[in-house]
Amino acid sequence: MLNLWKGLIIGFSIAAPVGPIGLLCIRRALAEGRWAGFASGLGAATADAVYGIVAALGLGALTTLLLEHQRWLQLGGGLFLVYLGVATFRAAPQPAAVGEKHPGNLASAYLSTLALTLANPMTILAFLGIFAGLGNADRTGSAALLVAGVFLGSALWWLLLSVTAGWMGERLRRGGLRWVNAASGAVIAGFGVWQLAGWLRSA
């Protein structure tokens, strides 16, 4: 069980820094309800678990493949962030009713953040470094517990974030949500432009 707790700490700490995914989760929870925010977070948690599996099992060939195609993943992720930012900026504010669910929207929220997080293979370097620090003795026979802990720790962070943001969103007036859309859309698009600039510099 010690490895499960280690995985929980790793997953929580990897997810906690607020970047484009965190901002997207917050915006969706504010504007569409806590479940939309949590679904977005679960997509990121799933991607963290995938990269955790690769790192914990020492899948060198897959790691090399991901890093070799890093530039194209960076290009795709940057373009997607710019698209999401513009779409968010232009979105009409529609506060979700308490407890309201839209299965199609939840699936879209999940898949979009899953794709965005997987498009950032640099995440795997963080996992490789952390798992290397644990030592082979900790990893042997315990990869499943580590990865389960990573997923649960990441999911716990997204649950806390989305519930808090959803609670705030239920109390925002329509005008407030308009500003949330504009600000978060501009910042998300900015992350995309920054990622595309990095892609051009590495050309």
For the chain, the domains span 2-201
The pLDDT assigned to 24 comes to 85
Q: Which residues contact 109 (CB under 8 A, 6 or more apart)?
A: 28, 32, 36, 37, 39, 40, 43
3-state secondary structure 87-145: HHHHCCCCCCCCCCCCHHHHHHHHHHHHHHHHCCCHHHHHHHHHHHHHCHHHHCCCHHH
The pLDDT assigned to 42 comes to 93
Whether pTM > 0.75 for this model: the answer is no
Q: Residue 58 carries which side chain, given as an amino acid letter?
A: G
pLDDT along the chain (203 residues), means of 10: 78 77 85 88 89 72 67 78 78 53 74 85 67 53 75 90 80 63 78 82 73
